[in-house]
Amino acid sequence: MSPRTSRRSPFMIAAFILAVLCCSPRANGADTLHSWNSGPTKFAVIHFVRDVTTEGGPGFVPPAGRIAVFSHDGTLCPEQPVPAELAFLMDRIKMLASKHPRWMTKEPFKSALSRNMKALAASGTRGILELTAAAHSDMTAEEFETTVTNWLAKTRNPKLNRPYNQCGLLPMLELLDFLHSSGFKTYIVYRGDAEFLRPWAEKSYGVPPEQVIGSSVKMKLEVHKGVPSLVRRPEFDVLEDGPGRPGAIYRVTGRRPIAAFGNSDGDIEMMQWTAAGEGRHLVLLVHHTNGGNEFAYDRKAMFGRLDRGLDIARKNGWTIADMTKDWNRFFPKTGQ
Amino acid sequence: MSPRTSRRSPFMIAAFILAVLCCSPRANGADTLHSWNSGPTKFAVIHFVRDVTTEGGPGFVPPAGRIAVFSHDGTLCPEQPVPAELAFLMDRIKMLASKHPRWMTKEPFKSALSRNMKALAASGTRGILELTAAAHSDMTAEEFETTVTNWLAKTRNPKLNRPYNQCGLLPMLELLDFLHSSGFKTYIVYRGDAEFLRPWAEKSYGVPPEQVIGSSVKMKLEVHKGVPSLVRRPEFDVLEDGPGRPGAIYRVTGRRPIAAFGNSDGDIEMMQWTAAGEGRHLVLLVHHTNGGNEFAYDRKAMFGRLDRGLDIARKNGWTIADMTKDWNRFFPKTGQ
């Protein structure tokens, strides 16, 4: 071996290690999506990610354009028997009721206190906003965060017997991991109060607070205990389901997503808008078909109704994840 | 040399190269802030960044918490003789006027067409919104982006003779670079239409579109030339100066910033809120004192008035960047 070759060799090894480490660590979906059964749905996901991450390929999308949006309730986690935030809201109303004796006879408080879901659903957005105004405001942003965190620590989804922030659907968590390791920026699109989800979105889903797009309360800077703080006011800017979603997403992201994941009629427009973008895209609908492992519902559900969306998805050839056919595990071990 | 030592050596070299490359490349402010004169202002910036990035130190802030907010007009770029978006707005109104003969005699259009700045300023937010509704709406998000990009390509700041997207103040561009290389996430807080700034914020400032927080028009999903597209409606959600800013920032970031950069009375509350956070923070006010290289104005300016803010900054000991004292270069070479 000549001295020259011998000097080169450490650099070649270094260069090789660097090449391996510096290249975007494009995960192989087969290594990540363990809870997905082999079949056309899993194939569609892997195929899409491979196409948009293959440099020089016809479907390549630079990392800045790899925007994926996920609906929350029913897509990333169960929304039955009631969505997490509604459970929180009812608990808060119950806790505050002793200071508001009139609530016992006044709607929608009366229905919230008696957990009359049908009457609550009938009170519509206006009813829910009235409850939220009473339960979510007149405290600082930091106090609200603490309130949410404390509630999560002592509450569980009654059927699944898991803390609400450990109810993420395992196949969707794997999908998030796969997208993150493939250079995607993922956003959660949430009809509820963004500040309810933000304290736990990063730990539960790997999505940082600034990537949670949701409804919001008006916040006003006030001097609170001597410190200028944001105080939550009982006024809302509601992220409407349906046609309002694409605008709300664009307002935050400034780009049209290339992947959208939803599960209900409220997600249709977000998915149509994503599907209409130029270039490669993935639009995937989660269909709750497994009452044994999770919940089974669609066209007649009180929360997360999927009726028109199912027809539109089938007509347009969108990818449908049928929980029973496509998934083999539903939740990670608790405590993970 | 034993065979063992000889086998180790390439790995040691590789490990060394990896260590250098994988460690967060924390830039040294002295290497970056060339246009800043040595003195207490530059020192305050470097000292702050060193403190929050020194692991194990008392001021350490993990990267996720390193949020910095910048006002745009007057902080990152000049806002004289008129802010870029107002120049755009007047050009758009002029271009559209042939289709609207009544504008010749109707305010605020008449003042926009005659470039009567005093009358325009007197028309207030309502007047500007009326102009914006006429000039910025009834087109898709993509069409608006193209309109802005085309306008930037053929227009210049009349005093500086530079395209508006090349008017970034060099010391502030260096500061952005320094913060980015120190693990900060930077946001631009912009009173104008976020979609006006987003097409060029990344190239001009290294700030991606999703980190521009601004006013927004309502957007509605409509089928436009056969494609579901977001169409801009003449309705606004205005990011108010002053007390409205902290809430608008929190709504996007979900965190209180640890650094805030402003230049006018409209930035006070954003800076007060940042200064009131726990732990280390930096609040810096840009004072326009150099009429030769840029513009000199403060307490009586029509755009970017700095009156109350100057007193508050001095009283609270905020860092003030006096352009004449603290900066030695103002703009990069054009074409850079």
Confidence of residue B33 (pLDDT cuts 50, 70, 90): very high
Q: According to the model, what pLDDT value does residue B6 have?
A: 43
- CA–CA dist A301, A254 (Å, integer): 33
pLDDT tens digit sequence for B264-275: 999 999 999 999
Q: Are strands B212-224 and B227-237 parallel, antiparallel or unpaired?
A: antiparallel
Determine the average pLDDT of the residues in A272-285.
96
Question: Does the beta carbon of A183 lie under 8 angstroms from any beta carbon of chain B?
Answer: no
Q: How far is A85 from chain B (nearest CA, A)?
A: 18
Q: What is the mean pLDDT of residues B230-249?
A: 90
pTM of the model: 0.87
Is the Cβ pair A212, B255 closer than 8 Å? no
pLDDT, tens digit, for every residue of A33-45? 999 999 999 999 9
Instruction: State whether B219 and A246 contact (CB < 8 Å).
Output: yes
Residue A30: predicted pLDDT: 72
What is chain A's percent helix, strand, coil content, to nearest 5? 50, 20, 35
pLDDT surpasses 80 at B16: no
Question: A55: which 2 tokens?
Answer: 């440099």
**Residue A187 falls within a domain, yes or no?**
yes
**Confidence at residue B296, expressed as pLDDT on a 0 to 100 scale:** 95
What pLDDT score was predicted for residue B306?
97
* pLDDT: which is higher, A284 or A129: A284
**Tens digit of each residue's pLDDT (9 = 90 or more) over B134-187:** 988 889 999 999 999 999 999 999 999 999 999 999 999 999 999 999 999 999
The SS3 assignment for A159 reads: coil
* Closest CA–CA distance from residue A190 to any residue of chain B (Å): 13
Residue B112, in any domain of the structure: no
Closest CA to A282 of A114, A106, A42: A42
Q: What is the per-residue pLDDT for A1?
A: 39
What total number of domains does chain B contain? 1
Is there a contact between B251 and A141 if contact means CB atoms under 8 Å apart?
no
CA dist B312 and B317 (Å) reads 8
In a domain, B125, yes or no: no
Range of the domain at A176: 27-80+167-326
Tokens 């669609």, residue located: A298
Asked if A272 reaches chain B (Cβ–Cβ under 8 Å), the answer is yes
DSSP characters over B191-236: EEEHHHHHHHHHHHHS--GGGEEEEEEEEEEEEETTEEEEEEEEEE
Task: Band the pLDDT of A157: cuts 50, 70, 90.
Answer: very high
- The reply to whether A276 falls in a domain is yes
Contact A228 B11 (CB under 8 A): no
The full 3-state SS of B4-47, as one line of letters, equals HHHHHHHHHHHHHHHHHHHCCCCCCHHHHCCCECCCHHHHHHHH
d(CA B61, CA A17): 31
Q: Which amino acid is at A226?
A: G
Query: In the structure, what pLDDT confidence band is assigned to residue A13 with cuts at 50, 70 and 90?
Result: low
Interchain contact A218–B (C-beta under 8 A): yes
Q: Which pLDDT value is given to residue A25? A: 41
User: Are B144 and B132 within 8 A, CB to CB?
Assistant: no
| Cα B197 from Cα B195, distance rounded (Å) | 5
Identify the band that residue B70 occupies on the pLDDT scale cut at 50, 70 and 90.
very high
User: In the prediction, which pLDDT does B20 show?
Assistant: 42
Query: Shortest CB distance from A13 goes to which of B14, B247, B269?
Result: B14
Would the CB atoms of A219 and B250 count as touching at under 8 Å? yes
CB B221 within 8 A of CB A247: yes
Rounded-to-integer distance, Cα B62 and Cα B53, Å: 8
Interface A-B: count of C-beta contacts within 8 A? 118
Chain A residues touching residue B209 (CB < 8 angstroms): 253-255
List the Cα angle B240/B249/B182 in 5-degree steps. 135
Binary contact (B269, A221; C-beta < 8 A): yes
What is the least distance, in Å, from the CA of A316 to any CA of chain B?
A: 14
Q: What is the pLDDT of residue B74?
A: 97
Distance from CA of A293 to the nearest CA of B (A): 34
For the stretch A218-266, pLDDT in tens is: 898 998 778 899 999 998 888 888 888 999 999 999 999 999 999 999 9
Distance CA B89, CA B83 (A): 10
Q: Which residue has the tokens 């806002």?
A: B79
Binned at pLDDT 50, 70 and 90, residue B10 comes out as low
Chain A within 8 Å of B153 (Cβ-Cβ)? Answer: no
Q: B69-83, B220-234, B313-327 — which is least confidently predicted?
A: B220-234
Residue A38 domain-assigned? Answer: yes
B93 domain-assigned = no
Confidence of residue B24 (pLDDT cuts 50, 70, 90): very low
**B294 and chain A: CB distance < 8 Å anywhere?**
no
Whether residue A198 lies inside any domain: the answer is yes
- The one-letter amino acid code at B57 reads G
Q: Does A110 touch chain B (CB under 8 A)?
A: no
Task: Give A140's strand partners.
Answer: A231
pLDDT value of position A56: 96
In Å, how far is A288's CA from the nearest CA of chain B? 27
Total residue count of chain A as it appears in this document:
336
Q: Does residue B140 belong to any structural domain of this protein?
A: no
The verdict on B220 touching A (C-beta cutoff 8 Å) is: yes
In three-state secondary structure terms, A232 is strand
- Per-residue pLDDT reduced to its tens digit, B204-238: 999 999 999 999 998 989 987 788 999 999 988 88
Q: Which class for A220: exposed (0-12), middle (13-18), buried (19 or more C-beta within 10 A)? A: middle
Average pLDDT over residues B65-69: 97
A229 touches chain B (CB under 8 A): yes
State whether residue A26 sits within 8 Å of chain B by CB. Answer: no
| pLDDT of res. A19 | 43
Does A243 reach chain B within 8 Å, measured CB to CB?
yes
**Which candidate in A11, A202, A219 is best for mutational testing of the B interface (most B CBs within 10 A)?**
A219
A227 touching B (Cβ < 8 Å): yes
Looking at residue B297, which CATH number applies to its domain? Answer: 3.40.50.1000
- Name the average pLDDT for chain A: 90
The pLDDT-based confidence of B5 (bands split at 50, 70, 90) is very low
Which two tokens mark A99?
């200071």
> Which residues does chain B have within 8 Å of residue A9's beta carbon, measured at their own beta carbons?
10
Joined together, the tokens standing for residue B255 give 């965190």
Amino acid in the structure at residue A249: I
A278: nearest CA in chain B? B227
